[in-house]
């Protein structure tokens, strides 16, 4: 059984290349595969391997005080979903190119826990009686595999296109509680931060993204699967892969 992980953490990294080199060395020693991005703003990881090796890697990573609080989301497959290990240094761990969306400058955007969101979806409004609009911050390819029922989706191919695509919807969202979401939380965190800095103070982020929602409460309110960028293609609400060559 292969353990698949998705994790990110925003924190100041003064020497991204040094961290990337250390991560590569440790992951290679443990025979892990996947992709890791390191940037001055933090780290973003998608890694898979044997359970003991995965646990050893994240124990090692958390020994770095900057990364002690990193949250990891887990799923399983019979087959290894990655062909190799890739570790790169980038300007951002998710490219958005907006200075007013830096998690290192502003406080973290307010988040809603999966359990609370599920209650809101069931009752049709938030705890203040405002209607809830789910805002999908992923691209159109991902949305085709599934999204929250009734979610506002945008015709984008890249995360950097979100601000322009959202512009025509802003007035219609003024009376709602907007919950931004993505696969694992990183894009919806940046999007919520930017929207609030741009005057949309009614925006929250879904803590942990879709995968965190599946892990915590299952798939109620979500239609279809969640696209992932590896050979599994997409996961259902039980975090089972659409494709699993060894199954």
Residue numbers annotated as active site: 182
DSSP element (H, E) containing 4: strand 2-10
Gap between the Cα atoms of 182 and 233, Å rounded: 15
**What would the two tokens of residue 151 be?**
């979610």
Beta-bridged to residue 76, according to DSSP, are 3
The CA-based diameter of the chain, rounded to the nearest angstrom, is 53
Local structure of residue 118 (DSSP, 8 states): H
**What would the two tokens of residue 117 be?**
């969101």
Do residues 235 and 145 lie in contact, with contact meaning Cβ atoms separated by under 8 Å? Answer: no
Q: From 48, 210, 39, 15, select the one nearest 117 (Cα to Cα).
A: 210
Do residues 217 and 114 lie in contact, with contact meaning Cβ atoms separated by under 8 Å? Answer: yes
Strands 222-224 and 146-148: antiparallel
Gap between the Cα atoms of 16 and 14, Å rounded: 6
């Amino acid at each position: 059984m292969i353990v698949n992980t998705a994790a990110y953490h925003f924190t100041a990294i003064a020497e991204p290349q040094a961290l990337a080199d250390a991560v590569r060395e440790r992951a290679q020693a443990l025979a892990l595969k996947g992709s890791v991005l390191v940037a001055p703003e933090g780290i973003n990881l998608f890694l898979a391997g044997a359970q003991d090796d995965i646990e050893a890697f994240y124990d090692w990573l958390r020994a770095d005080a900057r990364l002690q609080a990193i949250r990891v989301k887990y799923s399983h497959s019979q087959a290894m979903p990655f062909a190799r290990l890739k570790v790169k240094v980038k300007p951002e761990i998710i490219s958005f190119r907006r200075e007013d969306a830096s998690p290192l400058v502003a406080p973290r955007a307010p988040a809603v826990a999966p359990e609370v969101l599920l209650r809101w979806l069931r009752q049709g409004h938030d705890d203040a009686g405002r209607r809830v609009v789910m805002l999908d911050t992923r691209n159109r390819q991902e949305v085709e595999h599934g999204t929250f029922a009734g979610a506002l989706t945008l015709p984008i191919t890249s995360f950097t296109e979100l601000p322009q695509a959202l512009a025509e919807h802003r007035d219609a969202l003024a009376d709602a509680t907007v919950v931004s979401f993505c696969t694992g939380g990183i894009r919806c965190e940046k999007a919520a931060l930017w929207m609030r800095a741009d005057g949309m103070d009614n925006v929250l982020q879904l803590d942990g993204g879709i995968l965190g929602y599946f892990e915590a409460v299952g798939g109620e309110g979500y239609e279809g699967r969640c696209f992932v960028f590896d050979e599994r293609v997409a996961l259902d609400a039980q975090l089972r892969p659409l494709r699993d060559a060894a199954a």
